[in-house]
Chain A
Amino acid sequence: MNKNNLTGFVFASPWIIGFLAFTLYPLCASLYYGFTDFNVFQSPRFVGLDNYRDLMGDDLFWKSIRNTLYLTVISTPVNLIFALLTAMLLNTRIRGLSVYRTVYYIPTIIPLAATSLLWMWIMNGQYGLLNKLLGWVGLPQPGWFSDPAYSKMSLILMGLWGVGNIIIIFLASLQEVPQSLYESASIDGAGGFRKFRHITIHWISPIILFQLIMQVINNLQYFTQAYFVISSSNLNQVSGGPENSLLMYAVYLYQNAFIYFKMGKASAMAWILFVMAGILTWIIFKSSKRWVTYGGGD
């Protein structure tokens, strides 16, 4: 057993070292920095709750929270529902399945940098493709990213282009639902919607839960796309897009840390994000007892 402990330790050592150096220590350090005044050039000075108090009175901080929650609350369900509906359409023993699957999946492997550039161009208010198409059918043609009323919607629309991997995951789990369940439900006289609720959702609920949590966590950290859009409209990189409507939490945190060098304030923000992510995950888990069932399949 002792020998096994040593062998196990040797095999796990890359992770153990990484965990201590790049996760556990940084986690504690950022908690501590959150209570300090720290600008990298001088060593941190303990200031108690000052950073947190500062943040409470910082309009941009609240703006960034509102922007990020707005994005999370809208884009998460929109993405999941769109992916599920598409996966269900693909799961009808349709011909050419692999072609459709490939077409829907490819956008998700495109680097977010390129995706952002491409969609900024598609949604360009003056010369963009989208407004050209909208013009053909006589719909209004907003400025999209440059209009604060539409800028977050533009990000959400762009995000829909990248749900292919969720479609694939949903499709794979739909394919595991035993057909016999549907057949016996039909014999019992169940309609399409009841079958969907009681068999489909029931069966794949653990996968929906997992995707829901990952979507929420990723959306809370939304950065690259917003950063790209912002940097096109302002050369000094310290901006939040039109009327700060694209100032996402992670972007504002980055600006505080690496442009203003307010490492203490940024660390406090990091811990607030951590707590927010924890609470949201906890709420989802808690509610999942009502709608997620294990043991149906796996």
Chain B
Amino acid sequence: MKTRLLRQKTATHAILIVLGLSFVAPFLWMLLTSIKSLEEITSLPVTIWPEIFRWRNYADVFDVIPFTRYFWNTLLITGLSVIGQLISAPLVAYAITKIEWFGAKWIFPIVIGTMLLPYQVTMIPVYLIFQKLHLTGSIWPLVIPTFTAAPLYIFLLRQFFMGLPTSLIHAAKIDGANDYRIYWSVVLPLTRPALASVAIFTFLYTWSDFMGPLLYINKAKQYTLTLGLQAFLAEHYTEWGLLMAASALFTLPIVVVFFFAQKQFVEGISLTGIKG
């Protein structure tokens, strides 16, 4: 019995490790390619380990692609979007969980319904609205909607607010506090962990977004990193060393955020994914 259990455990580990290696290998390939020279990349047979370490690729990324500019453009849009969601989403979640009013019942089903609505259905009219406002070609069409609370974060915060004891709010009401006051000084401070999840998910989504910038940003000097990478790919299809170095630099901030905020990631996923 004992040996059978041991054999089972070993087999499980073996599968998980092989699987893990195949999840890690692409990253290694990205890093290894990012320090290879163009000649090495385009010669056969394919080498795994670089013959010469060409660290210059990373410096070249900053010369060939206006990487710093794209970086700041992306960071600006991302920062404003995080602020937008952090201001709007908890307000709405509070309205549908902790205030007794006629909207409390019917807003949430609509929020869920809009989660299932394909982006393309509203894409064209929304584009035309921003065009009428002369805002296409700027970052505002990407930022303004984030101040109207994304369904996913309303959902996430609703789950969190439902777990907050109502007695807390009743007690504050008896003490004479109104909803604005309760929201600001009782509920929000308790919501910090969930807000952290909202901030991280918004950061991730906006940092990686491609379709939004593709629609609204048309001047090269306003490009985000995703647009910059795509433009570079379209022009220099064969320069994989540079492309991989740029991809690595592009991905780095996200990996850093992940390792600092792993707990919020896992909590956020379980708030959105489980109690469907």
Residues of B within 8 A of A277 (CB): 116, 118
B102 within 8 Å of A (CB atoms): yes
Across-interface contacts of A27 in B (CB, < 8 A): 117, 121-122, 125
Within 8 Å CB of B127, what residues of A? 257
A247, CB-defined interface residue at 8 Å:
no
**B254: A residues at CB distance < 8 A:** 109-111
- Whether B233 lies near A117 (C-beta < 8 A) is yes
**A45, chain B: closest CB distance, angstroms:** 15
Binary per-residue interface labels of chain B (236-254) against chain A in the complex, 1 for a CB within 8 Å, 0 otherwise? 0100100110010011001
Query: Is A54 an interface residue, CB under 8 A from the partner?
Result: no
What residue in chain A is nearest B15 (Cβ atoms)?
A89
CB contacts under 8 Å to A, within B1-53, are 8-9, 12-13, 15-16, 19-20, 23-27, 29-30, 33, 41-42, 44-46, 48
Q: Report if A8-B91 is in contact (Cβ < 8 Å); known contacts: A168-B269, A273-B120.
A: no
In the complex, what's the smallest C-beta–C-beta distance from B213 to chain A, in angstroms? 10
A263 in contact (CB, < 8 A): yes
Q: How far is the CB of A241 from chain B (nearest CB, A)?
A: 14
- Residue B148 CB within 8 A of the other chain: yes
- B148 and A22 form a contact (CB under 8 A): yes
Inter-chain contact A8/B95, CB cutoff 8 Å? yes
Confirm or deny: A18 has a beta carbon within 8 angstroms of a beta carbon on chain B: yes
- Contact across chains for B233 and A111 when beta carbons are under 8 A apart: no
Contact A14 B91 (CB under 8 A): yes
Give the residue name and chain of the B residue nearest to A163 (CB): B23
Interface stretch of the complex, out of A73-81, A177-185, A221-229: A221-229
Q: Which of B15, B104, B148 contacts A18 (CB 8 A)?
A: B148
Q: Are A263 and B234 in contact (CB under 8 A)?
A: no
Q: Is the CB of A217 within 8 A of B116?
A: yes
CB-based contact A19/B120 at 8 Å? no
By size class, the interface of chain B is 35 or more
Task: Let me know if A291 is at the binding interface, CB within 8 A.
Answer: no
Docked-complex contact A210 and B273, CB < 8 angstroms? yes
B233 near A232 with CB under 8 A, answer yes
**A201 CB → nearest B CB, Å:** 16
For the complex, give the distance between the alpha carbons of A128 and B120 in Å.
34
What separation, in Å, do the CA atoms of A221 and B48 have in the docked complex?
36
Q: CB-CB < 8 A to B234: which residues of A?
A: 231-232, 235, 237
Q: Is A279 an interface residue (CB 8 A)?
A: no
Closest A residue by C-beta to B234: A231
Please give me the residue from chain B that is nearest to A224 by CB atom.
Answer: B210
Q: Bound state CA distance, A164 and B19, in angstroms?
A: 12
Judged by a CB distance under 8 angstroms, whether B222 is at the interface is: no
| Least CB distance, B265 to chain A, in whole angstroms | 8
| Binary interface encoding of chain B residues 86-103 relative to chain A, with 1 for a CB under 8 A from any of its CBs, else 0 | 011001101110011111
Q: Mark B64-91, 1 if CB is under 8 A from A, else 0.
A: 0000000000000000000000011001
Residue in contact with B269 in the complex, picked from A16, A19, A111, A169, CB distance below 8 Å:
A169
Whether the pair B103, A89 counts as a contact (CB closer than 8 A) is: no
Contact status A121-B33, CB under 8 Å: yes
Interface flag for B188 (CB, 8 Å): no
**9-residue interface stretch from B55-63, B106-114, B164-172, B191-199:** B106-114
How far apart are the CA atoms of A178 and B12 in the complex, in Å?
Answer: 22
Given the complex, which residues of A lie within 8 Å of B19, measured CB to CB? 86, 104
Interface residues of A in 178-212 (CB under 8 A from B): 206-207, 209-211
Least CB distance from A111 to B in Å reads 3
The contact of A165 among B42, B116, B262, B269, by CB within 8 Å, is: B269
Say yes or no: is B174 at the interface (Cβ < 8 Å to chain A): no
Listed residue (A90, A232, A253) with the most chain B CB atoms within 10 angstroms of its CB: A232
- Please indicate the chain A residues that have their CB under 8 angstroms from the CB of B179 in the complex: 7, 11
Within 8 A of B (CB), among A94-129: 94-95, 100, 102-107, 109-114, 117-119, 121-122, 124, 126-129
Interface pair A104/B20, CB less than 8 Å apart: yes
Given A8-B101, A121-B29, A114:B120 Cβ within 8 A: no
B161-183 to A contact mask, C-beta < 8 Å, 1/0 = 00000000000000000111001
B124: contacting residue among A33, A121, A237, CB under 8 A: A33
Q: A232-B233, A263-B124 are in contact. Are A169 and B273 (CB under 8 A)?
A: yes
**Chain B residues proximal to chain A, CB less than 8 Å:** 8-9, 12-13, 15-16, 19-20, 23-27, 29-30, 33, 41-42, 44-46, 48, 87-88, 91-92, 94-96, 99-104, 107, 110-111, 114, 116-129, 131, 145, 147-149, 154, 178-180, 183, 204, 207-208, 210-211, 214-215, 225-226, 229-230, 233-235, 237, 240, 243-244, 247, 250-251, 254-255, 258, 262, 265-266, 269-270, 273-276
10 residue pairs A–B, Cβ–Cβ below 8 Å: A15-B107, A19-B110, A22-B148, A26-B125, A94-B12, A127-B41, A168-B269, A172-B269, A172-B270, A258-B215
